[in-house]
Amino acid sequence: MTCEGTMLKVPEFWISNLDHIDRQAKTAGRAEVREIARSAGGRPLYAFAYGEKQIMKSTANYSSACGAFDRDCYVPLSGKKPVVLLLGAVHGAEVEGTAALVNLIHCLEEGKDLRGDENEALMKAAEAIRLVIVPVCNPDGRARLPYESVLGMTMKEMRYWFQGTWKDGTLCDYPRCKKVHPIKEASDHLGSYFNDDGVNIMHDNFFRPMARETQAILGLADEEKADFVIQLHGGGNCLNCLLPTHYVTKESLVAVHDLSVLCNERAKREGLAFTICDIPERENGETPPSFNLASALHHVCGAVSAVFESNQHAAGHPGAKLTHDEVYRSHLILFEELFGMASSRCRA
Ligand SMILES: [Zn+2]
């Protein structure tokens, strides 16, 4: 499918391709860079870590520590250096977060982002934490998107590139694309949601993971004893939304809600906004909400875990339509408030 000409001009600072991240991984001087896995299609997943890793002895995994009624058996919170894990492109075409993470890495490595901004306050906030960045969690899906940005695509074009088509050529669409999993054998054009085996990492089987990508992401959160794990997704014309995660503690939900409020207060001063979601009731119903990657990441290490949905400026579709600059700025607000919250929580 070729796109119909509504796409926004991509500014020079907006880079989200795998080759660029490959080069960043090879040239990074400040980060400790690790290939945490190869995707189903053989592509590397890189983790860039900044800030000293605190060696903390666990006597139990997170589940067992909770079973012992003593979280400290996993990791004591007092005296713990805060660890933030940022995950980009779990869905390969949702590259808004990846573009922001590529710039964040440039800033951490070279003292300025690709717009030439030093982002002083953000860099100061980053110094107080251990920050681990995976710019692309699903490189197979990212490789299937032939564009640097999707802003300005129509919703139909997004559906084609994101969820793909069935064997009869009709769009798999959202959320119907989740009715077959893994989807590979049922699809004609495989969407960027999926790795090369057709697995949607967001909905892997977390008690028996199918994808190496999923295993590596969960392993990283556990090894790092992450305090906050934020996945950066795209959410059509939604307005900067931190989604409540299902099957997690109330404290974790409240933290994400508070983070939304902080981000929104900050964003309003710049003519932007964040959506503030209500804290949901307990899960119920014949088909309950899914236990997804955000839920699993909480349960592997106790982290406050959430999905951030960025605006994607879907043309001809109702809702907010942000520019590349505004989308990027929204991510920087999120990062700065997140790093600040992580620092204050661990000091408490
Ligand atoms: Zn997504």
> From first to last of its 348 residues, what are the pLDDT tens digits of the chain?
877 689 999 999 999 999 999 999 999 999 999 999 999 999 999 999 999 999 888 999 999 999 999 999 999 888 899 999 999 999 999 999 999 999 999 999 999 999 999 999 999 999 999 999 999 999 999 999 999 999 999 999 999 999 999 999 999 999 999 999 999 999 999 999 999 999 999 999 999 999 999 999 999 999 999 999 999 999 999 999 999 999 999 999 999 999 999 999 999 999 999 999 999 999 999 999 999 999 999 999 999 999 999 999 999 999 999 999 999 999 999 999 999 999 997 754
Contact yes or no for 81/224 (Cβ under 8 A): no
Compute the distance from residue 80 Cα to the ligand 1 centre, in Å. Answer: 31
Compute the distance from residue 307 Cα to the ligand 1 centre, in Å. Answer: 8
Query: 123-156: b or e for each residue (b if 16 or more CB lie within 10 Å)?
Result: bebbebbbbbbbbbbbbbbbbbbebbbbbbbbbb
Quote the distance between the C-alpha of residue 308 and its chain's center: 7
Compute the distance from residue 144 Cα to the ligand 1 centre, in Å. Answer: 15
Compute the distance from residue 234 Cα to the ligand 1 centre, in Å. Answer: 6
pLDDT of residue 78: 84
pLDDT of residue 87: 98
CB-count burial class (<10 Å; 0-12, 13-18, 19+) for 249: middle
pTM: 0.98
Compute the distance from residue 38 Cα to the ligand 1 centre, in Å. Answer: 20
**At what angle are helices 293-301 and 212-224 packed, to 10 degrees?**
40
As a whole number of Å, the end-to-end CA separation of the chain is: 52
Which residue type sits at 321? K
Residue count (the chain): 348
Compute the distance from residue 61 Cα to the ligand 1 centre, in Å. Answer: 29
Compute the distance from residue 309 Cα to the ligand 1 centre, in Å. Answer: 7
pLDDT of residue 3: 77
Q: What is the DSSP pairing of strand 44-50 with strand 83-88?
A: unpaired
Compute the distance from residue 158 Cα to the ligand 1 centre, in Å. Answer: 12
Compute the distance from residue 204 Cα to the ligand 1 centre, in Å. Answer: 13
CATH of domain 18-347: 3.40.630.10
Phi, psi of 166 (to 5 degrees): -75, 175
| Three-class SS state of 131 | strand
